[in-house]
Amino acid sequence: MRKEVSVLGVAAAVLAVTAMPAGAGARPGQDPTQVVVTVASLQGSGCPPKSVDARYISDIRQLEVRYSAYTVQAGGSSSPTDMRKNCEVTLLMYAQGFTYAVTRVDNRGYAHLQKGASALHKGTFYFQGASDRTMITHKLTDASTGLWGFTDTPAQIGWQACGENRYLRLLTELSVDAGTSQPTKISLNSMDDTDSGIRTSYHLAWKSCR
């Protein structure tokens, strides 16, 4: 059984997200009744075709992204390309007469690190056309073996402009460094969805453009 470590849910960082106007007439306090979500494209070694799923689980204020081929490892018979993977998920989300913004990201994963090894998780998101793509970095050490979690929040909320259907791009990167650990032993870092509920949650706010 995978143990839950103390890092879960307590680490937070601020994303410097370029703000985009919500558009004239946008009003808070309303949610759409129907939202269309499409995974438009996947790019990167951490997300081969058909390895990512994006869906609403409970309500339209939380989008969950699940990976099935996103694990890095070092040590043992691992190759240099096994130690780092990245993924860019391009989503098209659309609700007639509404605009949205990402207000928080809850990152989840699992690490098994040998003594002396370390790992990194990097992530950011941005609307198509935004210039700021600064990645927030979280570091894991061998003391972090088990489930991990990090929460990132935008320094400034960036809204998709009313009347525009811009792509939302979700960028992540995983890496692991064997460091001073025994070369024959494997260390790994993963965002793969399992029965432990490993997934990334994007919390959303909605405004009416009418």
Cα 143 to Cα 138: distance, rounded to the nearest angstrom: 14
Cβ–Cβ under 8 Å, residues 88 and 42: yes
SS3 62: strand
Note the pTM of the prediction, 2 decimals: 0.84
Beta strand 36-43 with 71-74 is unpaired
CA atoms within 13 A on the CB side of 29: 2
Q: Residue 184, Cα to own-chain centre: how many angstroms?
A: 31
pLDDT in tens, 181-208: 999 999 999 999 976 678 899 999 999 9
Q: What is the mean pLDDT of residues 88-98?
A: 92
Q: What is the per-residue pLDDT for 28?
A: 52
Among 66, 126, 56, residue whose Cα is nearest residue 95: 56
Cβ–Cβ under 8 Å, residues 196 and 112: no
User: Does the pLDDT at position 64 exceed 70?
Assistant: yes
Cα 87 to Cα 192: distance, rounded to the nearest angstrom: 12
Q: Who contacts 40 (Cβ-Cβ below 8 Å, separation ≥6)?
A: 90, 91, 92, 167
Question: How many other C-beta atoms lie within 10 A of the C-beta of residue 36?
Answer: 11
pLDDT in tens, 112-148: 999 999 999 999 999 988 877 789 999 999 887 899 9
Strand-pair partners of 35? none
